[in-house]
Amino acid sequence: MTDSQKTLLWRSAFITLLLVVVYGSTLTNRFVWDDLDVIVKNRLLENFTNLPKLFLYEDRTGDGLTGYYRPVTYISFMLDRSIWGLNPVGFNITNLILHIAVVLLFYRVVFALFKKERMAFVAALLFALHPIAAESVNFHAGGRNTLLSACFALLALLLYVNKRWLPAVISFTVAIFSKEFALLLPLVLIAYDRYIGTEKRRWTAYLPYLASIICYLILRSFAVAHGNLLTTIQLSGNLLLIPKIVVSYVKNMLFPVGLKVIYDISPAVSVSSFALYSVLLLVVVSVAVLFRKKREIAFSAGWFFLFLLPVTGIVPLGTTLIADRYAYFSLMGFSLVLAYVMCLGNKRVIVTGTVVLSVFYAAIDLQRNAIWKNMPSLYTQMTVDAPERSIGFTNLGMYYYENGDLAKAEKYLEESCSKKGIVIRDAYNYLSAVYWEGNKFDKALSVLNKLMALEPGNPQSYIMASRIYASMGDKAMARKYYDKVTTMFPNIEEMLNGRVSVLCREGEKLMAEGRNTEAERKFQEALMMKPDSVPALIDRGSVAAERGNLAGAVELFGKAIALAPLNPQAHYNLSMAYELMGKPAEAATEMKKYRELDASARQFNR
């Protein structure tokens, strides 16, 4: 082993150890935000027999289809679930390993391109610890795709530089099936051949990459509802925002003290604002052009702007115009140019600057990691970062409702209804449920009437209104709203049964994880939809017994038996509840009924 190889090895080990120390606190973080829809509730990830389906699966969250196609990302989630189940620790470990892999590959790529080991090490260290990278490490649903794509894109570039053509194409293919950002990598390869490498390859050398892209686009066209990727580009609609977005990312990289989970960026741009941001962007571009003869500067600037291009507004990103995870790729270009400038100084300047920035970045990382620890900490930060937007308040309200804190749920949901960007279905549905459970029937009906006016085709509001009137003893109004929904949706009973089954499954999973409060909310929601659902009654009785409410459990099991006298599970659970209450006679009676029914069922199934 040469001295250079030893240096690379020892410094790689140092970077790895440093990242484990800085991001070690993330290992105890819980699933948050879109993780629930993308990972926890995603039934496709439960079994490897579903793996082929992932190549025809459009990325989706609780808000619906996203238009993204990232099968390799979902395969990685499937692998995690097969090993760890739904224990978030394993998913956190995977994200940390991937970030370490990206950093070490970035280190090797910079060294392979410019043969400057010290600069490569400083660039890798700055990138590894820069706070903008923290969101990708902490956020599974939003960051895993970026980590995978960056990892395999850098591996493809390193293999290409080392003239290992076939492995480079394979790595590139995995990268684009992880996230569409890697589709830009062939432009980097062409630039390398023309301006850095010693061999000027023919254009036919890039045909394998074109073949991979065509394969990706064909599969994507079958998986995604709007399969034509070019139709998503909306340059004219967002042209005025581009300078503001680019300058905002540059500012966050230079001064990462004001990073946010949610950036409340208005799509409206005044003439003066556009002029100011355009001048600032022109300054950034002019500096890059001025020093373009420096290969390191030219490569850094090219990489930075190339991978920032998709997130400048030309491709719609929903309500999130800026996010730290969007800048993960571009951060490599920034880190390299910063390392280049620092390495122009003497050894003392380099060491002092690197240490100061590393400590500064690491301190912010630790603070950002704590924000992603659990749902309350993340959603609370959203309300701080974007106090005029509803998303943080709605998410907090939904969280507290599902955990049984109706007072806090009411507070945050009411607040969310006065904010901009309100997700009507989430805020109003949950707020009406909070009022209903708090016996504030008039307020619940007022919210539901607003929801019906805004979303007349939403059956849930009519069902809830019917159930509330039934709770109030107004059978005529209950029947009126139920008739309305059956007229609009003749198969409403089938729809309700399906939704109740899903809620019961989700609740049973939560019970298995010991999360009884959340499980109880699922069963309660199921009973709101179908008060006569026997499985939901049994499940809610089971969680009541688990929490020590034996009288409530007996009442629920009794209701289930009244509706389905031949249900053996209800009799068994009632027997266990009586046993725990110290009523052996009643327990024996129910156990006898259970055994009779169970024996009959076994005989029938033979």
Confidence at residue 454, expressed as pLDDT on a 0 to 100 scale? 81
What is the rounded average pLDDT of the residues 417-441?
81
Confidence band for 332, pLDDT divided at 50, 70 and 90: very high
Pick left, alpha or beta for residue 419 (phi over 0 → left; psi -120 to 50 → alpha; otherwise beta): beta
Confidence band for 448, pLDDT divided at 50, 70 and 90: confident
Confidence at residue 229, expressed as pLDDT on a 0 to 100 scale? 57
- Exposure pattern of 297-331 as b/e (b: 16+ CB <10 Å)? bbbbbbbbbbbbbbbbbbbebeeebbbbbbbbbbb
Confidence at residue 32, expressed as pLDDT on a 0 to 100 scale? 92
- Most confident among 225-239, 448-462, 557-571 (mean pLDDT): 557-571
Confidence at residue 497, expressed as pLDDT on a 0 to 100 scale? 83
What is the rounded average pLDDT of the residues 252-276?
84
- The pair of structure tokens assigned to 324 is 């730290």
- Residue 442 corresponds to which amino acid? D
Confidence at residue 14, expressed as pLDDT on a 0 to 100 scale? 95
Confidence at residue 574, expressed as pLDDT on a 0 to 100 scale? 86
Give the mean pLDDT of the chain. 87
DSSP label at 167?
H
* Rounded to 5°, angle at Cα 165 from 160 and 171: 70
- The pair of structure tokens assigned to 11 is 């410094």
Pairing of β 64-65 and β 60-61: antiparallel
What is the rounded average pLDDT of the residues 156-182?
95
Q: Which has the closest alpha carbon to 29: 108, 110, 92, 111?
A: 92
Confidence at residue 259, expressed as pLDDT on a 0 to 100 scale? 95
Assign 419 to helix, strand or coil.
Answer: coil
Of 116-130, 214-228, 235-249, 394-408, the range with the lowest mean pLDDT is 235-249
Confidence band for 377, pLDDT divided at 50, 70 and 90: very high
Confidence band for 517, pLDDT divided at 50, 70 and 90: confident
The backbone torsions φ and ψ at residue 256, rounded to the nearest 5 degrees and listed phi first, read -80, 45
Please say if the pLDDT value at position 576 is more than 90. no
Please say if the pLDDT value at position 501 is more than 60. yes
Per-residue pLDDT of 183-207, as tens digits, reads 999 999 999 998 887 778 888 889 9
Confidence at residue 475, expressed as pLDDT on a 0 to 100 scale? 87
Cα distance between residue 511 and residue 39, in whole Å = 18
Confidence at residue 227, expressed as pLDDT on a 0 to 100 scale? 52
Tokens 């038996």 label which residue? 561
Cα distance between residue 170 and residue 162, in whole Å = 15
Cα distance between residue 412 and residue 420, in whole Å = 14
In order of their start, the domains of the chain are 3-237+346-371 (no CATH), 388-490 (1.25.40.10), 493-605 (1.25.40.10)
Cα distance between residue 49 and residue 63, in whole Å = 27
What's the helix, strand, coil split of the chain in %, to 5? Answer: 80, 0, 20
CA torsion angle 165 171 177 178 (round to 10): -150
| pTM attached to this predicted model | 0.84
Cα distance between residue 301 and residue 287, in whole Å = 10
Confidence band for 164, pLDDT divided at 50, 70 and 90: very high
Cα distance between residue 75 and residue 36, in whole Å = 16
DSSP label at 389?
B
Whether 95 and 138 have beta carbons less than 8 Å apart is answered as yes
What is the rounded average pLDDT of the residues 355-379?
95
What is the rounded average pLDDT of the residues 354-379?
95
Confidence band for 208, pLDDT divided at 50, 70 and 90: very high
Confidence band for 368, pLDDT divided at 50, 70 and 90: very high
Tokens 């156990």 label which residue? 591
Cα distance between residue 542 and residue 508, in whole Å = 10
Cα distance between residue 26 and residue 93, in whole Å = 9
496 CA to centre of own chain:
28
If one counts every other C-beta atom within 10 angstroms of the C-beta of residue 546, the result is 14
Confidence at residue 20, expressed as pLDDT on a 0 to 100 scale? 96
Confidence at residue 384, expressed as pLDDT on a 0 to 100 scale? 94
Per-residue pLDDT of 459-491, as tens digits, reads 878 888 888 888 888 889 988 888 888 888 888
Cα distance between residue 554 and residue 570, in whole Å = 10
Please say if the pLDDT value at position 268 is more than 80. no
Confidence at residue 482, expressed as pLDDT on a 0 to 100 scale? 83
Per-residue pLDDT of 1-42, as tens digits, reads 777 778 888 999 999 999 999 999 999 999 998 898 899 888
Q: Computed over its alpha carbons, how large is the radius of gyration of the chain?
A: 28
Whether 108 and 8 have beta carbons less than 8 Å apart is answered as yes
Confidence at residue 407, expressed as pLDDT on a 0 to 100 scale? 92
Please say if the pLDDT value at position 93 is more than 90. yes
Assign 515 to helix, strand or coil.
Answer: coil
Confidence at residue 30, expressed as pLDDT on a 0 to 100 scale? 93
Cβ-in-10-Å burial (0-12, 13-18, 19+) of 480 comes to middle
Whether 522 and 504 have beta carbons less than 8 Å apart is answered as yes
Confidence at residue 216, expressed as pLDDT on a 0 to 100 scale? 94
Share of the chain above pLDDT 90, in %: 43
Assign 565 to helix, strand or coil.
Answer: coil
Per-residue pLDDT of 523-543, as tens digits, reads 887 887 788 888 888 888 888
Assign 23 to helix, strand or coil.
Answer: helix
Confidence at residue 230, expressed as pLDDT on a 0 to 100 scale? 55
Confidence at residue 490, expressed as pLDDT on a 0 to 100 scale? 84
Of 122-131, 165-174, 487-496, the range with the lowest mean pLDDT is 487-496
| CA dihedral sign of residues 39, 41, 44, 48 | positive
Cα distance between residue 455 and residue 428, in whole Å = 11
- The pair of structure tokens assigned to 384 is 């701080």
- Angle between helices 117-129 and 347-371 in degrees, nearest 10: 20
Confidence at residue 424, expressed as pLDDT on a 0 to 100 scale? 62
Q: Mind giving me the DSSP string for 271-330?
A: HHHHHHHHHHHHHHHHHHHHTTTSHHHHHHHHHHHHHHGGGTTTS--TT----GGGGHHH
Residue 8: partners with Cβ closer than 8 Å, 6 or more residues away: 107, 108, 111, 117
